[in-house]
Amino acid sequence: MSPSSVVLRLHGVTRVHGEGATRVEALRGVSFAAHAGELVAVMGPSGSGKSTLLTIAGGLDQPTEGRVEVEGTDLVALPRAGRSRLRRTSIGYVFQGFNLIPALSAAENVALPLELDGTRTRAARQAALRALEEVGIVELADRFPDDMSGGQQQRVAIARAIVGERRLVLADEPTGALDSETGEEVLRLLRARCDAGAAGVLVTHESRHAAWADRVVFLRDGVVVDESGCEPVESLLETSDAR
Amino acid sequence: MSVKQALLALLEQEPMYGYQLRTEFEARTGSAWPLNVGQVYTTLTRLERDGLVEPAGADDEGHEIWRLTAAGHDEVAAWFTTPVARTQPPRDELAIKLALAVTVPGVDVGTLIQRQRSATMGALQDYTRLKRQADASTGRTDLAWSLVLDSLVFAAEAEIRWLDHCEARVRRVATESTPLIAPARFERDEQEAGR
Amino acid sequence: MSPLGWLRGWLRGWRLPLRVAARDARRARGRSLLVLVMIALPVAAVAIADTVYSTADVSGTEVLERRLGGAEALVEVQAGGGQAYQKPDPEDGSAYDGEGDARPLTLRAVQRILGGERPGAVLAQGWVRFDTELGLGEADVVETALGDPLAEGLVELLDGRWPDDTTEVLVSPELLDRGPGDELVLDDGSRLSIVGTAQRARYTGQPRAFGLPGTFGLGRDASREYLVGGDPVTWDQVLELNAAGATVLSRAVLADPPADDELPMEVQWGSQLLEASVITVLVLVVVMVLLEVVLLAGPAFAVGARRQARTLALMAAAGGTPAQARRVVLASGVVLGAVAAVLGVLLGLVGALALMPLVQRFSSTRFGPFDVSWSHLVVVAGFGLFSALLAAMVPAWLASRQDVVAVLNGRRGDARASRRSPLVGLVLLGAGVAAAVWGARTGTGDGGEVAIAASALLSVLGMVLLVPVVVVVVARLARGLPLPLRFAARDAARHRSRTVPAVAAVAATVAGVVALGIAITSDEAQNRETYSAALPMEAMSVVDYERGADYGLHESAVTAVAEGLEVQRLRGVDSSGRRSTSVTFRTEEGADVLSGYGGSLGSGVLVADEVPGAIPGLSDDDRAAAQQALDAGGVIAFTDAPLADDRLRVVLRVHGEERRRSAAVLPAATTTVERGYAPVQGVLSTAAAARLEAPVRDVGLFLPGPVSAAQERDVAEVVRGASADAYAYAERGYQAADETAIVQLVLAGLGAVLMLGGTLTATFLALSDARPDLATLSAVGAAPRTRRGVAAAYALVVGLVGAVLGALVGAVPGVAITYPLTAPYGFGDGANAPSHYLDVPWLLVIGVVVGLPVLTSALVGLTARSRLLLVARLD
């Protein structure tokens, strides 16, 4: 796998919350990469730092130490506005609680990142409809989130994460609030997106869902303890030189 | 035993000859439990002895065809309506291994668990991949196979969950009393060395 | 269950909700503060007003020494009074039948009627003129037994000593400022030495002088009262004195006044002083204020109720009744309302104390001691509590009917809007418009204003009910708008319980501002349109209303200060004084040609052989025609309507002792008054005046000008110095009264504050409500300024929707009120005066409707925090 296809790369990322007695090390020297066309699952019990990893990968949070690169851009060096722009253009987020904006229709929710990026409303809507088509609910485009089932809402959320030319999809327990059948649907969509060339990072505590990934990274107490996958895991070895 | 019941269930659909039975069985269960032809014929003989199947002549190519007797039909119906009993836990090598590991001094239980978990995860990923391929088509047989795969997926998941649980228990014991396993054992370099 | 037991149970039912509410109020500090401010401020304002009023109102036995001194009674006698009637305090009402002896009672007569051993003293009050550094000043004077125990407390000695005899006086500091020196020189030449300063205990300000009886030589027009000591004066004795034509202020009677029905019939009026219409308007004002307060505080309660929605849903799921759910929300109204009411009253008391010296400066009556009317304040505080309860009522009701399942499933947003309330709103609005139309048609005096005021309230109430529909429609229309606006509009529509009161508060405010603005501007427009110049522009006139005024003196004084200005003498028919004379211009058929006039030329009819330059508004043609008429020994006349006549009948009447009448038909030039008043009735040629035997004299000075502002000031000062009754007037065209501008400014300011209040409340509540959505926006890559944009959009949606609605609704009573307000005065309007003036203050309206919302929105956008804690949401 050529280095150019690395979409997300974390180098020795450490994240410390609080000071003194309340000091918590959420992540300790984590190194990790996700390549184009690859879905990586991050597994660990609650408090293992997996959500922190995701917020840092998405530029919502900054590491205390280390580097975060998305498609070759160092997020840490980027100003806040720049990170926002990256989230609008390169990174898609899928949350456990769907996090749709109830005041906006499905299509508008999906078009949100594009609109925020300044795309014309009409063009943004076209792209949103395409994304909704991809997740199979284009007929619900003008419904509002409150009028949808959980699975439908999560599909809209996925559509929002993949709309436009996003090459990195970050999903935080995307199946958490869904039954196993609907959850699998959602994973299938994520998987398909990665098969189509995007890099995906899936945070979950359920091994059944993690199994959809090409690689599974185990996190314990802010440290990557193991990885498993069918690939001859050369990315695994990178972590040791970061330490 | 399940092979006996499985053959009866297949014959319920239509009369078949021995090799055909084996092929059908494997198609439906995704080769999860390989079955050799000898086993099929032995079982058929035993079923005939018990009056559940009877020969029904040969087909054009001279294969001997078997079909269900009335008693055989009853047996199939009874099987489908009776739940599988869990009277005796199957012997589980992993459970025994862990039970011994925590009692025998000098064994790195943490690494043992993690290595097992990685292995099981690998299997789980394989099952999931098979499932994805199975999902590509939508035949009745594929549904059957997909369900079998699900059973394996859930079993593997249960095992991982159990391993997670074991790990949590072991660590709690370790922090509460004398260190059974050093926390450092979970560090990465140990893992690398273990590979 | 016994009633008591029931009550106890009912109170027990409130204990938990109140505790929850108190805890909630402490936790949601910002929201609680908001409610406290919204309710405590009006309460404080009313409490201040009430306390200031109570303090300023010195009545009954309060500081009675300021009126009575040390006396038991103050007896006022009236020449020719006959039988007098009075209330316990004659200042509250007294009457005379006017058929008695012409000679007023003497002090001795009063003492005799009262009987017993009674010391007495005269209290005489009048005014004098005195020499100042610059000219003449006027002072109120009091003559009484200064230093006597009877007068003790009437006059406060500030400095010096009491006068010993009638050559000595005390003066007030204000008089001393006018610079009389050591002596007060009266205009009759008498010189009084100043032995100290003093002030009247009851009144402030004003130059005053105090002396012993006889000091100032007060004339017959001075008022004379008697201070009487001795035993307390009873109500029966008061009635006896009334019978003798005197009114009495008695210490004993004020302390224990007779019942209302014991009063003589003649003064029983006025107990119900407040007219029905006043009460109606008062009620309307109170309701409007209440509405505004409720609307402003409402959103906070709505948000609070929704924060508690999950708790309430869980309560319902666990078997709680809607009443219990309602109580939880209402309890927050009780808690916050009670705190706000108490806080408001305290604030009011402190504010009143602080404001008292300032208010005193505007009042000539010295305030009494700090006086708090607790009974009023309890009502005011109750009002505050009630408004909080009212504000919590709708959210409480909504909370009790919420969809439990939807809430537990985590769906946000309000239930579907009611279909009925907009209909009721439409009906109310229709009724409001109808009332406005009726009021406009009916006009003054027949309840027109009351109908229009009621229409304002009806329209606003109707509008409040229509706001939800409007908000939803706006959300629908928001489809194509940029993201922040679309988001804000949709969110506003989703959370109507929060948005509607805020929008309605803004709308009600704007409605009030627009209505009053239209009324004031139209009134102003009428004033402007009907303004008629008394003189040509930049010219000036000097008129001395004193009998036998010496214009020679004025002329030399004016010439001295206004160098290079031409000064003309104006001659005219002497219409003042003993030989009061009136001149009427009529057509030959005998119809009056002019209904009214008003001017600054000293007389309504000038006498001249040249058309006087002092008459404004004559065209060249008019002037030529007028000159012809004067040359022919005729007259010039102003007329209401154009006349074809070239001859008019001029009638002259001299009133008084010299009573006579003369008339002549003379050649005449007429000029029609286009609008407003004619500056004079007309002009007589010398020949005409002679023929009518008109009394002619100098009536004023005319300075054709142009007169500068500085010259105007100088001239005014010298003529005032020369004669107290002399006035100088310079024509500067129409000058808008300062009050109009001030009232408009105050209106705009008040509107701005209330609007800002409403908008900010709604915006920040919305923002805190929308925190999860904003976090989502940020997570999908919204730049920090998008959050500001959303904040600004919220403010814009609330402000703009409210303002537009308010302007529409306010225009109805606003336009209606202009009909009675600008109705013709009935005379002097000229023939072509329109019957109605309407002028919309577009600048104010646009400022309030567009400017303020945009400004508020910009303000919100600039101050909104753009940073958000995101991680908490994502974990």
Q: Which of A60, A115, A172 sits opposite C870 (nearest CB)?
A: A60
pLDDT digits (tens, 9 = 90+) for C247-270: 888 888 888 877 777 777 766 655
User: Does A104 contact C875 at a Cβ distance shorter than 8 Å?
Assistant: no
Q: Number of structural domains, chain C?
A: 3
A212 interface with B at CB cutoff 8 Å: yes
Average pLDDT of the residues in C696-715: 77
Token reading at C279: 């009460």
pLDDT of residue C339: 92
pLDDT of residue A229: 59
b/e map C486-520, b = 16+ CB within 10 Å: bbbbbbbbbbbbbbbbbbbbbbbbbbbbbbbbbbb
pLDDT of residue A206: 83
A230 interface with B at CB cutoff 8 Å: yes
Chain A neighbors of C408, CB-CB under 8 A: none
Chain B neighbors of A224, CB-CB under 8 A: 188
Cβ-in-10-Å burial (0-12, 13-18, 19+) of A92 comes to buried
Q: Which of B122, B135, B191 sits opposite A225 (nearest CB)?
A: B191
Q: Which numeric CATH code is attached to A37-62+79-228? A: 3.40.50.300
Give the nearest chain A residue to B151 (CA atoms): A208
Ranges in chain A, pLDDT < 70: 1-4, 98, 228-243
User: Does A230 contact B192 at a Cβ distance shorter than 8 Å?
Assistant: no
The model's confidence at residue C600, banded by pLDDT at 50, 70 and 90, is: low
Residue C863, amino acid: T
A216 interface with B at CB cutoff 8 Å: yes
Residue C871: is its pLDDT beyond 60?
Answer: no
Domain limits of chain A? 37-62+79-228
Beta strand A168-172 with A91-94 is parallel
pLDDT digits (tens, 9 = 90+) for C316-325: 777 777 777 7
Token reading at C253: 């009677």
CB A110 within 8 A of CB A148: no
Chain A neighbors of C490, CB-CB under 8 A: 103-104
pLDDT of residue B187: 40
Q: Say whether C178 sits in a helix, a strand or coil.
A: coil
Question: How many A-C residue pairs are in contact by the CB < 8 A criterion?
Answer: 85
**How many residues are listed for chain B in this entry?**
195
Residue C750: is its pLDDT beyond 50?
Answer: yes
Residue C245, amino acid: G
Token reading at A116: 């925020």
User: Does B192 contact A240 at a Cβ distance shorter than 8 Å?
Assistant: yes
Residue A192, amino acid: A
CB A74 within 8 A of CB A44: no
CB C86 within 8 A of CB C269: no
Calpha distance C482→C486 (Å, rounded):
6
Phi first, then psi: give them for residue C466, nearest 5 degrees: -90, -15
Evaluate the CA torsion angle B7, B10, B16, B21 in order and state its sign. negative
Give the nearest chain C residue to A149 (CA atoms): C409
Calpha distance A102→C777 (Å, rounded):
12
**Within 10 Å of residue C482's Cβ, how many Cβ atoms?**
12
Higher pLDDT, C263 or C812: C812
Residues C598 and C721 in one domain: yes
Q: Which of A202-211, C525-534, C610-619 has the highest mean pLDDT?
A: A202-211
Q: Which of C479, C530, C475, C517 is nearest to C499 (CA)?
A: C475
Report the 3 state secondary structure along C521-550.
Answer: HHHHHHHHHCCCCCCCCCCEEEEECCCCCC
The model's confidence at residue C835, banded by pLDDT at 50, 70 and 90, is: low
Residues C787 and C875 in one domain: yes
Chain A neighbors of C775, CB-CB under 8 A: 99
* Distance of residue A227 Cα from the nearest chain C Cα, in angstroms: 23
Average pLDDT of the residues in B73-82: 83
Chain C interface, best mutation among A48, A61, A75, A87, by max C CB count within 10 A = A87
pLDDT digits (tens, 9 = 90+) for C129-177: 777 766 667 778 888 888 788 888 888 888 888 888 888 888 888 777 7
CB C781 within 8 A of CB A86: yes
Q: Which of A1-10, A76-85, C71-80, C637-646 has the highest mean pLDDT?
A: A76-85
C491 interface with A at CB cutoff 8 Å: yes
Beta strands, E only, C521-659: 540-544, 568-573, 581-586, 605-607, 635-639, 647-654
Residues C128 and C242 in one domain: yes
Percent of chain C whose pLDDT exceeds 70: 85
H or E segment to which residue A158 belongs: helix A150-162
Report the 3 state secondary structure along A165-186.
Answer: CCCEEEEECCCCCCCHHHHHHH
The crossing angle, in degrees rounded to 10, of helices B140-176 and B18-29 is: 50
pLDDT of residue C502: 84
* Distance of residue B121 Cα from the nearest chain A Cα, in angstroms: 7
pLDDT of residue A129: 92
Residues C497 and C600 in one domain: no
pLDDT of residue C874: 36
User: Does A60 contact C782 at a Cβ distance shorter than 8 Å?
Assistant: no
Q: Which chains touch C (3 or more CB pairs under 8 A)?
A: A
Average pLDDT of the residues in B62-91: 78
C796 located within any domain: yes
C20 located within any domain: no
* Distance of residue B67 Cα from the nearest chain A Cα, in angstroms: 38
Residue C545: is its pLDDT beyond 80?
Answer: no
Chain C interface, best mutation among A62, A96, A112, by max C CB count within 10 A = A112
The model's confidence at residue C271, banded by pLDDT at 50, 70 and 90, is: very low
Cis peptide leading into residue A45 (ω within 30°): no
The pTM of the full predicted model, rounded to 2 decimals, is: 0.68
Which A positions 200-229 lie with beta carbon below 8 A of chain C? none
pLDDT of residue B24: 83
ipTM: 0.76
Calpha distance A41→A204 (Å, rounded):
7
Residue C778: is its pLDDT beyond 50?
Answer: yes
Residue C471: is its pLDDT beyond 70?
Answer: yes
Domain limits of chain B? 2-81, 93-194
Task: Give Cβ neighbours of residue C841 (< 8 Å, ≥ 6 apart).
Answer: C517, C518, C520, C521, C744
Residue C492, amino acid: A
Q: Which of B122, B157, B189 sits opposite A208 (nearest CB)?
A: B157
Helices (H), C478-619: 483-494, 496-529, 551-561
Q: Which of C401-410, C424-433, C640-649, C728-737 has the lowest mean pLDDT?
A: C401-410
C415 interface with A at CB cutoff 8 Å: no
* C and B adjacent (3 or more CB pairs under 8 angstroms): no
Task: Give Cβ neighbours of residue C510 (< 8 Å, ≥ 6 apart).
Answer: C751, C755, C802, C803, C805, C806, C807, C810, C848, C849
- Can you give the residue range of the structural domain that contains C617? 540-730
Average pLDDT of the residues in C335-339: 91
Q: Which of A45, A211, A216 sits opposite B164 (nearest CB)?
A: A45
Q: Provide the mean pLDDT of chain C.
A: 78
Q: For residues C253, C256, C261 and C263, what is the CA-based torsion angle, rounded to 10 degrees? A: 0
C788 interface with A at CB cutoff 8 Å: no
A173 interface with C at CB cutoff 8 Å: no
C549 located within any domain: yes
Q: Which of C339, C359, C358, C357 is nearest to C347 (CA)?
A: C339
Cβ-in-10-Å burial (0-12, 13-18, 19+) of A99 comes to buried
pLDDT of residue C80: 61
Task: Give Cβ neighbours of residue B29 (< 8 Å, ≥ 6 apart).
Answer: B144, B145, B148
Calpha distance C703→C535 (Å, rounded):
10
Q: Which of B94, B91, B151, B159 is nearest to B122 (CA)?
A: B159
Chain A neighbors of C776, CB-CB under 8 A: 95, 99-101
Average pLDDT of the residues in C102-108: 74
Token reading at A143: 């419904």
Chain A interface, best mutation among C471, C483, C780, by max A CB count within 10 A = C780
A81 interface with C at CB cutoff 8 Å: yes
User: Does C781 contact A101 at a Cβ distance shorter than 8 Å?
Assistant: no
Residue C525, amino acid: A
**Within 10 Å of residue C828's Cβ, how many Cβ atoms?**
19
Residue B184: is its pLDDT beyond 80?
Answer: no
Measure the CA angle with vertex B54, ends B53 and B59; round to 5°. Answer: 120
User: Does B114 contact A212 at a Cβ distance shorter than 8 Å?
Assistant: no
C870 interface with A at CB cutoff 8 Å: yes
Distance of CA C346 to the CA centre of its chain: 26
Q: Say whether A54 sits in a helix, a strand or coil.
A: helix
Chain A neighbors of B153, CB-CB under 8 A: 208, 211
Q: Which of B126, B129, B188 sits opposite A223 (nearest CB)?
A: B188
Calpha distance C473→C467 (Å, rounded):
10
User: Does C480 contact A121 at a Cβ distance shorter than 8 Å?
Assistant: yes
> In the block, which residue shows the tokens 């499933």?
C409
Chain A neighbors of B157, CB-CB under 8 A: 206-208, 211
pLDDT of residue B191: 39
* C and A adjacent (3 or more CB pairs under 8 angstroms): yes
Which fold would CATH assign to domain B2-81?
Arc Repressor Mutant, subunit A (1.10.10)
Residues C634 and C513 in one domain: no
Last residue of a domain, one of C242, C267, C292: C267
C779 interface with A at CB cutoff 8 Å: yes
Calpha distance A11→C590 (Å, rounded):
112
